């Protein structure tokens, strides 16, 4: 047991398991894209940070169950599949009436 005013035997740097850079290296591109799209519902491929367009196109082809691709003229947009249904449930008004 530590006495009052005594510091622990470890430093803060030892308690942090991985740096942000190490976490980024461990995360697959498609997983990073998925995380990004959970906060940004629809994004142009050109807007996605830190990856080449070719790498993102490959991730989209390898994980069609995760991503929805739509085109508007020359721009290609990506979103998560099933996100529209989830948002409509979240945004639906609450019912205050009695159920029959």
Q: Which residue, 65, 67, 61, is CA-closest to 37?
A: 67
- Domain chopping of the chain, boundaries: 25-89
At residue 24, φ and ψ (nearest 5 deg) are: -60, -40
What's the CA gap between 60 and 30, in Å, rounded? Answer: 7
What's the CA gap between 73 and 59, in Å, rounded? Answer: 22
Q: Which helix (H) or strand (E) holds 87?
A: helix 83-91
Kindly report, residue by residue over 48-98, the tens digit of the pLDDT.
Answer: 877 888 999 999 999 999 999 999 888 899 999 986 544 444 455 555 555
Q: How far is CA 87 from the centre of its chain?
A: 16
The class (CATH top level) of 25-89 is: mainly alpha
Predicted TM-score (pTM) of the model is 0.59
What's the CA gap between 95 and 30, in Å, rounded? Answer: 38
Give Cβ neighbours of residue 83 (< 8 Å, ≥ 6 apart).
37, 41, 68
Kindly report, residue by residue over 11-49, the tens digit of the pLDDT.
Answer: 555 545 567 667 667 788 999 899 889 988 889 988 887
């Amino acid at each position: 047991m530590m006495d009052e005013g005594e510091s622990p035997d470890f430093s803060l740097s030892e308690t942090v398991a991985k740096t942000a850079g190490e976490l980024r290296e461990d995360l697959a591109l498609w997983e990073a894209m998925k995380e990004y799209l959970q906060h940004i519902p629809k994004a142009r491929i050109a807007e996605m940070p830190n990856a080449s367009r070719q790498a993102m196109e490959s991730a989209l082809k390898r994980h069609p169950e995760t991503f929805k691709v739509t085109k508007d003229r020359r721009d290609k947009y990506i979103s998560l599949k099933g996100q529209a249904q989830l948002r409509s449930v979240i945004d639906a008004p609450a019912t205050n009436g009695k159920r029959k």
